[in-house]
Amino acid sequence: MATVEVLTSEVVVPAEETPAGAVWLSNLDLAARRGYTPTVYFYRTNGKPEFFEADAVKDSLARALVAFYPLAGRLGLDPTGRVQIDCTGEGAVFVTARSDYVLDDLLNEFVPCNEMRDLFVPPTPAPHPPCALLFAQVTRLRCGGVVLGLALHHSVVDARSAAHFVETWASIARGDDDGGDTAAHRAPVPPCFDHHLLSARPTTARAVAFDHPEYKPEPEPAAHAVANGSTYASTLITLTKAQVSALKSRCAGASTFRAVTALVWQCACRARSLPPDAETRLYSMIDMRARLAPPLPPGYFGNAVVRTSALATVGEVVANSVGYAARRALAATSQGDDYARSLVDYLEGVDAMNLPRSGISRAHLRAISWMGMSLHDSDFGWGAPVFMGPALMYYSGFVYVMQAPAKEGAVALALSLEPESMPEFRKVFADEMTRLG
């Protein structure tokens, strides 16, 4: 593995004075994983001397922080001890570095793991108040290419909000709508920081109408289902447009995310060699922005996702067609406003800041959709990234489903499994891909 040398580390403050005060966080923000989400964007050089020039990147970041001013603040506590955002304007951490990697070699070697995260994403502090909320690193490669590494605090943003910020930052860097200082600081879609839109209902109107096992401690797992600590093997897999279409034809009515996740679930159950009567749970995260009544504003900036899950036995998942697993996934990911409001009300009655956040048992899988978060919108003026994805996986059993770069209709998977299960998963999944053509 090549090395990375840090050149500079500084704090970038908003280009203008920004509002002070505090941003209240909803129960969904408090229930999110307490920590930073590290991501990486790989860019091929366009050969021009201004390609990802550090001062230009910093200047556009400073202007983006005007619209997204909470990211320049710090995680804080209100008088009751509830986590909030203190809008202090202190700024985001910005690091420059260089590496002896060549982009094509990096693309061949990269898998989400701690080592890659440590190379290309700035180190972050303990994720508790007071801490910065945004860390960015621009690493120039030996070939002239660049890796942009980001870490955003998950108590402040979900994936959709993080993408909203990066797309706005990139738009400002490109000079879109640059009709003067004020226009240059505008977000194409203005962010909305009113998290009270996801407040619990008044006490007399609260109704926890659903069970929410995804927010409760897992029952003591069977011996065969214990996760192997934080040790995992990770991989990146691409499904072609034709393979995705063939898979969806087996899963009538399923979205790309549900169809792909169903196949991964089935293959993981086979690769893990679990007994047929073992229970397996497929966890998902569902974006509720458009599902609420009324829907959240398009620029809602915060956590608006809820955990859901489908439960089956390993025998049911393995013995039936992939369409069966997709139907189970569909049933678990079709909830609307009533489900989300039930969850918010449930979280009001528990300690949402200290929910169980450990890994999942070896029988389970946690799938997250990054579909619809377009790579070309991360063009800072020098071309779209050739890859974007998570810098690491948190534990075994994680899968991200993303659009594959430069391959319309193709899908990329970032997957982690127990090291002993990964070789068999690769074989089983490859066999399925062959059948899909």
Q: How far apart are CA 306 and CA 287, in angstroms?
A: 7
* The pLDDT of residue 275 is above 90: yes
Lowest mean pLDDT among 52-56, 239-243, 306-310, 403-407: 403-407
Note whether 384 and 378 are within 8 A (CB).
yes
Does 405 sit behind a cis peptide bond, omega within 30 degrees of 0 on the bond before it?
Answer: no
Helices 322-332 and 256-271 cross at an angle (nearest 10°) of 120
Write down the pLDDT at residue 33: 87
Q: Distance between alpha carbon 120 and the CA centroid of its chain, in Å? A: 17
284 CB neighbour count, 10 Å cutoff: 22
Does 219 sit behind a cis peptide bond, omega within 30 degrees of 0 on the bond before it?
Answer: no
* The pLDDT of residue 350 is above 60: yes
Signed CA dihedral, 375, 153, 156, 369: sign only:
positive
Predicted TM-score (pTM) of this structure: 0.94
Strands 134-140 and 92-99: parallel
Write down the pLDDT at residue 196: 96
Overall average pLDDT of the 196-217 stretch: 88
In the three-class reduction of DSSP (H, G, I as helix; E, B as strand; rest coil), residue 274 is classed as: coil
Average pLDDT, the chain: 90
Write down the pLDDT at residue 185: 53
Q: How far apart are CA 1 and CA 366, in angstroms?
A: 29
Q: How far apart are CA 99 and CA 139, in angstroms?
A: 7
* The pLDDT of residue 358 is above 70: no
Helices 241-250 and 422-436 cross at an angle (nearest 10°) of 90
* pLDDT higher at 359 or 191: 191
Overall average pLDDT of the 315-324 stretch: 94
Asked if 337 is an active-site residue, the reply is no
Backbone dihedral angles phi then psi of residue 15, each to the nearest 5 degrees: -70, -15
Where does the pLDDT of residue 157 fall: very low under 50, low under 70, confident under 90, or very high at 90 and above?
A: very high
Q: How far apart are CA 297 and CA 195, in angstroms?
A: 11
Asked if 345 is an active-site residue, the reply is no
The kind and range of the H/E element at 437 are none
Q: How many angstroms separate the first and last alpha carbons of the chain?
A: 34
Q: What residue ranges define each of the domains in the chain, with the CATH number in brackets?
A: 4-198 (3.30.559.10), 205-436 (3.30.559.10)
Overall average pLDDT of the 83-105 stretch: 97
Percent of the chain with pLDDT over 70: 93
For residue 200, what are the contacts with CB-CB under 8 A and spacing of at least 6? 27, 206, 344, 345, 347, 348
* The pLDDT of residue 143 is above 50: yes
Return left, alpha or beta for 372; rule: phi > 0 is left, psi -120 to 50 is alpha, else beta: left
| Active-site entry in 153, 154, 164, 185 | 154
Lowest mean pLDDT among 209-213, 315-319, 420-424: 209-213
Q: Is 406 exposed, middle or buried (0-12, 13-18, 19+ CB in 10 A)?
A: exposed
Please list the residues that pair with 365 across neighbouring strands.
282
How far is the CA of 422 from the CAs of 59, 233, 260, 264, 418, in angstroms? 43, 7, 17, 12, 6
